[in-house]
């Protein structure tokens, strides 16, 4: 699905015990209609090569085999009732096919119950059996969960006395188990193309919506189409549908629904040339590695967006992954300022609609400047204007320059705009310059050139525990593959990437010489209370370097120094509060 469309596959449409129900001989349980065979409730959402699963039911293995699931970008859990989570262990074969752990999103309550129910998965002790590799992420309902450029917005629902979540994504929403929808959630469900909702049966139930109740919801929200799910053996497929309005149907296992306008935000990332749809252009395009997406990159991207809006084109960027230097001369390749996912996010923020991340293969490296422009830029992307920086190079051995681009523009009929260098306090802004600044700890000047603080992201990993016992509580950042600031102590800000919490902080980059450490560690000490569970994933923004890392005579001396660091950090943060 490279056309920006989104599809929803119903993996299960049945209630908690499934239909047929064990030991039951009613007409529906005995029915030959395949649509009366209902596994436990779950859907698979797919778009642009991405896949998100909602709930891992006890039938997950069978559902994954039927739907041909080979990899998942994430799992969203509506709530921790057994019929929605018990298949979690069966994600193990997906782990073998994926590089990192599988992300599982849920509310704090849901994740808490999952961690209890599947304690063996999260035990850190040694084990001889294979357990799923899972990273749990808590959402707070304030911010959407962004996966593959698509936002999933949690929608709070009442399920008896409990609170559970449905999800809205693009113009679709999936609301399984619920008995009521609070008014603020109703507001999140306007203008839907497709609405899936719980309709257990006709008779009232304390924790589930009924056919009649869900028909009321449909009347109020007026989605273009509605599908009932979480159905028990009271409802025969054919007979029930016959009595429903034409735009309301019963879901059935295997049903695939294509959704209109999957992305109201209008941002898309394409990962291969083949994914580029034939009607991609016309576009205004910028080309580059864009490491850091710094002030000069952003000024080009804003100009691309302006031209595109004026002429009714798409605003697009073509970038490369891995960084060409890693392919051409890996031993000389720099450590990067931003990973590819963060780069795409920042390009979106800079106003672009489309990013093509071209895998930088030896084949791509061999394209001549003329071939690259003809085959990729004009034929595939339909560029009508190409905007690049003054030092732009392209094609085999970087043999094409801006003069060559001008010539090719005349030949293939696109405008060329060479954007002037951007200066910051007398220095030309560039990725190499920013890497140098960060490499010597000058994160404040890097911040100016980036137009935002330099940041590291990653999972929170258990520290050696020395910090929490001997000095102050800290969050340890997982190992980094990109650029890390010069060792030392920094004023930072820390963000929970999953629920929007943020804290002023002080971060130590270094080897913890006082405790005889040898591995590089990045430890962040929060200056305000955690106020909730320990975050799973954080971003640490580096604002100012306080001092170098030093070895202290005793833990007590270190503690005193940290106390002084904190005072200075608080002064710095007060002074710069407005800038932030």
Residues that bind Zn ion (CB under 5 A): 16, 21, 24, 26, 29, 81, 83, 177, 233
Q: 241-276 burial string, b = 16+ CB within 10 Å, else e?
A: beebeeebbbbbbbbebebeebbeeebbbbbebebb
* CA separation for the pair 124, 549 (Å, rounded): 31
Instruction: CB nearer to Zn ion: give 30 or 520.
Output: 30
Instruction: CB nearer to Zn ion: give 21 or 561.
Output: 21
Instruction: CB nearer to Zn ion: give 161 or 469.
Output: 161
Q: Which residues contact 195 (CB under 8 A, 6 or more apart)?
A: 172, 173, 175, 189, 218, 221, 223, 225, 226, 227
* CA separation for the pair 413, 206 (Å, rounded): 66
Instruction: CB nearer to Zn ion: give 88 or 526.
Output: 88
> C-beta of 114: minimal distance to Zn ion in Å?
14
Q: Do 152 and 498 meet the contact criterion of CB atoms below 8 Å apart? A: no
> C-beta of 498: minimal distance to Zn ion in Å?
23
Q: Do 355 and 270 meet the contact criterion of CB atoms below 8 Å apart? A: yes
> C-beta of 472: minimal distance to Zn ion in Å?
41
| Distance in angstroms between the alpha carbons of the first and the last residue of the chain | 40
* CA separation for the pair 517, 202 (Å, rounded): 65
> C-beta of 81: minimal distance to Zn ion in Å?
4
* CA separation for the pair 208, 222 (Å, rounded): 21
Instruction: CB nearer to Zn ion: give 86 or 285.
Output: 86
> C-beta of 158: minimal distance to Zn ion in Å?
11
* CA separation for the pair 234, 237 (Å, rounded): 10
> C-beta of 106: minimal distance to Zn ion in Å?
13
> C-beta of 75: minimal distance to Zn ion in Å?
16
> C-beta of 166: minimal distance to Zn ion in Å?
12
Element (H, E) at 310: helix 295-311
Instruction: CB nearer to Zn ion: give 83 or 451.
Output: 83
Instruction: CB nearer to Zn ion: give 198 or 275.
Output: 198
Give whole-number Cα distances, 443 to 148, 205, 372, 449, in Å: 30, 59, 37, 10
Tokens of 371: 């071939």
Of 134, 137, 141, which is closest to residue 90 (Cα–Cα)? 134
Burial of 414 (0-12, 13-18, 19+ CB in 10 A): buried
Which region, left, alpha or beta, applies to residue 512 given φ > 0 means left and ψ of -120 to 50 means alpha?
left
> C-beta of 13: minimal distance to Zn ion in Å?
11
Q: Do 209 and 217 meet the contact criterion of CB atoms below 8 Å apart? A: yes
Instruction: CB nearer to Zn ion: give 19 or 477.
Output: 19
Q: Do 231 and 38 meet the contact criterion of CB atoms below 8 Å apart? A: yes
Instruction: CB nearer to Zn ion: give 54 or 134.
Output: 54
State the DSSP code for 407: H
Tokens of 137: 């992420």
Q: Cα dihedral sign for 309, 310, 312, 314?
A: negative
Q: Cα dihedral sign for 531, 534, 536, 540?
A: positive
Give whole-number Cα distances, 61 to 79, 120, 551, in Å: 19, 19, 53
Instruction: CB nearer to Zn ion: give 138 or 231.
Output: 231
Q: Report the SS3 class of residue 197.
A: strand
Of 197, 73, 80, which is closest to residue 145 (Cα–Cα)? 73
Instruction: CB nearer to Zn ion: give 16 or 508.
Output: 16
> C-beta of 109: minimal distance to Zn ion in Å?
13
Of 507, 571, 578, which is closest to residue 540 (Cα–Cα)? 507
Q: Chain-centre distance of CA 174, in angstroms?
A: 19
> C-beta of 53: minimal distance to Zn ion in Å?
15
> C-beta of 54: minimal distance to Zn ion in Å?
12
Q: Do 281 and 383 meet the contact criterion of CB atoms below 8 Å apart? A: yes
> C-beta of 259: minimal distance to Zn ion in Å?
23
Instruction: CB nearer to Zn ion: give 24 or 403.
Output: 24
Instruction: CB nearer to Zn ion: give 39 or 483.
Output: 39
């Amino acid at each position: 699905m490279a056309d920006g469309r989104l599809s929803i596959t119903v993996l299960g449409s049945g209630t908690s015990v499934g239909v047929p129900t064990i030991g039951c001989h009613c007409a529906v349980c005995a029915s030959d209609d395949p649509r009366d065979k209902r596994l436990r409730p779950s859907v698979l959402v797919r778009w642009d090569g991405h896949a998100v699963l909602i709930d891992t039911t006890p039938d997950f293995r069978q559902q994954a085999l039927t739907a041909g699931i080979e990899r998942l970008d994430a799992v969203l859990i509506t709530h921790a009732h057994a019929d929605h989570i018990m298949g979690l262990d069966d994600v193990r074969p997906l782990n073998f096919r994926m590089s990192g752990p599988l992300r599982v999103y849920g509310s704090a309550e849901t994740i808490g119950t999952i961690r209890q129910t599947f304690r063996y998965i999260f035990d850190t002790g040694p084990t001889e059996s294979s357990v799923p590799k899972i990273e749990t992420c808590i959402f707070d309902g304030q911010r959407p969960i962004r996966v593959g450029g698509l936002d999933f917005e949690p929608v709070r629902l009442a399920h008896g006395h409990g609170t559970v979540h449905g999800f809205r994504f693009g113009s679709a929403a999936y609301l399984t188990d619920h008995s009521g929808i609070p008014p603020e959630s109703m507001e999140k469900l306007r203008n839907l193309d497709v609405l899936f909702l719980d309709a257990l049966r006709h008779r009232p139930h304390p924790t589930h919506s009924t056919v009649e109740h869900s028909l009321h919801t449909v009347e109020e929200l007026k989605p273009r189409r509605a599908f009932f799910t979480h159905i028990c053996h009271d409802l025969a497929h054919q007979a029930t549908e016959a009595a429903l309005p034409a735009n309301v149907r019963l879901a059935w296992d295997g049903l695939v629904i294509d959704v209109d306008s999957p992305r109201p935000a209008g941002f898309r990332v394409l990962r291969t040339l083949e994914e580029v749809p034939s009607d991609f252009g016309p576009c205004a395009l910028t080309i580059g590695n864009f490491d850091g997406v710094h002030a000069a990159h952003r000024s080009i991207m804003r100009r691309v967006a302006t031209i595109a809006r004026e002429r009714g084109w798409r605003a697009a960027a073509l970038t490369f992954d891995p960084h060409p230097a890693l392919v051409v001369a890996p031993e000389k390749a720099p450590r990067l300022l931003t990973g590819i996912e963060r780069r795409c996010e920042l390009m979106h923020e800079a106003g672009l609609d489309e990013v093509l991340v071209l895998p930088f293969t030896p084949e791509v490296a061999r394209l001549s400047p003329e071939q690259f422009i003809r085959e990729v830029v004009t034929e595939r992307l339909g560029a009508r204007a190409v905007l690049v920086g003054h030092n732009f190079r392209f094609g085999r051995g970087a043999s094409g320059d801006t003069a060559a681009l001008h010539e090719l523009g005349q030949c293939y009929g696109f405008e060329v705009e060479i954007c002037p260098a951007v200066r910051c306090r007398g220095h030309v802004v560039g990725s190499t310059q920013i890497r140098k600044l960060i490499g010597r700890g000058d994160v404040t000047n890097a911040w100016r050139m980036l137009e935002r603080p330099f940041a590291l992201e990653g999972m929170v990993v258990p520290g050696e525990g020395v910090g929490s016992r001997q000095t102050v509580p800290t969050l340890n950042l997982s190992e980094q593959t990109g650029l890390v600031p010069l060792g030392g102590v920094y004023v930072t800000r820390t963000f929970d990437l999953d629920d929007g919490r943020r804290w002023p902080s002080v971060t130590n980059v270094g080897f913890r010489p006082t405790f005889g450490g040898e591995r590089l560690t990045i430890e962040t000490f929060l200056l305000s209370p955690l106020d909730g569970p320990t975050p799973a994933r954080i971003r640490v923004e580096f604002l100012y370097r306080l001092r170098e890392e030093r070895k202290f005579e005793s833990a007590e001396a270190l503690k005193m120094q940290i106390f002084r660091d904190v005072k200075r950090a608080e002064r710095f943060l007060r002074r710069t509060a407005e800038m932030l």
